[in-house]
Amino acid sequence: MTMRSTPVSRLRAAVLALILLLPAAPLRAAEVLVFAAASLKPALDAIVAGPEAQAIGTIKVSYAASSQLARQIEHGAPAALFISADQEWMDYLETRGAIAPGTRANLLGNALVLVAPAASRTQLALAPGVDLVGALGADGRLAIGEPNSVPAGKYAKAALTSLGVWDSLSRRVVAAESVRAALAFVVRGEAPLGVVYRSDAVSEPAVRVVDTFAASTHAPIVYPLAVLAAGDSEPARAFAALLRGPVAGAVFGRYGFGAPDPQTATPVATQATR
């Protein structure tokens, strides 16, 4: 018995034949969205542009103060990886279950410096009682990150308090939304002095380091990294591994970063496992 072909069956056969003749759609390249502390921008941009990162896929980075990024992640921002400029904001996310277990690691260390415009002749030693108010002049301001939320601002307030000069300076502070914004005040000549990270000064020829704050004046500056639970993927873990490796380490070193202080608290895990 022979089945008769119907118009519907002929249409289905034609569509199937057409589909088989079409070229296969290209696989979509892996995409990894990284939320990173603003101070990482020059170094991380260089790493993302390198062939090792390009081989992983499309790496996109959003830079801002760690406090802003952590709150965005808490409210559902679709990031896959977070690099904070302090432990507190990483702790904030970890206690809320936002971090993929076993992926947190201390990535980098840094130092805190006082900077001035490159042409400035200001000379100061950051010793207890240092006359920063006098160095600012009649109406000059000290540029720092917002001291209650931005990590660089919190480190700056702690260091200036340790030197016994915060109370006299607090009314002369311009609080910026991130450490890179604080740096920009000095670059543009809108503030005669600023407190930023050593890495910021290394990457910006328009400023010079006046002096470095002693490490004992503030908590250790540590940049923790973690893959985020909502964006956990093999490419995200691969990029995290790249950042912890020697190729990225060499780039970070050129931009003024160092190894994290070995005395800092041990993270939950230092190796990404799955």
Q: Please check whether residues 202 and 126 belong to one and the same domain.
A: yes
Residues 146 and 227 in one domain: no
pLDDT digits 0-9 by tens, 157-201: 999 999 999 999 999 999 999 999 999 999 999 999 999 999 999
Q: Are strands 142-145 and 193-197 parallel, antiparallel or unpaired?
A: parallel
264 found inside a domain: no
Of 170, 192, 217, the position where a domain reaches its end is 217
- Coil/strand/helix, residue 82: strand
Residue 265 has pLDDT above 80, yes or no: no
Same domain, 44 and 137: no
Looking at the fold, whether 95 and 231 belong to one and the same domain comes out as: yes
What CA–CA distances, in Å, run from 216 to 43, 112, 150, 250?
A: 26, 11, 20, 26
Torsion sign (Cα): 85, 86, 92, 98: positive
Least confident among 22-26, 113-117, 225-229: 22-26
pTM: 0.81
Q: How confident is the model at residue 29 (pLDDT cuts 50, 70, 90)?
A: low
In a domain, 144, yes or no: yes
Domain of residue 188, CATH code: 3.40.190.10
Shared-domain flag, residues 105 and 117: no
Output the pLDDT for position 96.
96
CA end-to-end distance (rounded Å), the chain: 58
Examine the domain organization and report whether 127 and 210 are in the same domain. yes
Domain-ending residue, one of 167, 200, 217: 217
CB 112 within 8 A of CB 213: yes
Q: What are the structure tokens assigned to 54, written together?
A: 């390009």
Nearest to 29 by CA among 50, 54, 62, 47: 54
Residues 43 and 138 in one domain: no
Percent of the chain residues past pLDDT 70, beyond the cut: 85
Whether residues 197 and 119 fall in one domain: yes
Residue 179 lies in a domain: yes
State how far the Cα of 101 lies from the Cα of 125, in Å rounded to an integer: 44
| Residue 25 within a domain | no
Tell me, yes or no, whether 120 and 58 share the same domain.
no
Q: pLDDT (tens digit, 9 = 90+) per residue, 101-110?
A: 999 999 999 9
Q: Residue 232: inside a domain, yes or no?
A: yes
Claim to verify: residue 90 and residue 53 sit in the same structural domain? yes
Q: What pLDDT was estimated at residue 48?
A: 97
Domain limits for position 241: 31-109+223-254
When pLDDT is averaged across residues 59-81 and rounded to a whole number, the result is: 96
- Give tens-digit pLDDT for 204-263: 999 999 999 999 999 999 999 999 999 999 999 999 999 999 999 999 999 999 999 765
Residues 169 and 213 in one domain: yes
Q: Is the pLDDT of residue 273 over 80?
A: no
The residues facing 222 across adjacent strands are: 109
Whether 139 is in a domain gets the answer yes
Check whether residue 73 and residue 201 sit in a common domain. no
What is the total count of domains within the chain? 2
Residue 79 is assigned to a structural domain of this protein:
yes
Residue 125 lies in a domain: yes
| pLDDT at res. 3 | 46
The arrangement of strands across the sheet holding 173-176 comes to 173-176, 142-145, 193-197, 112-117, 207-212
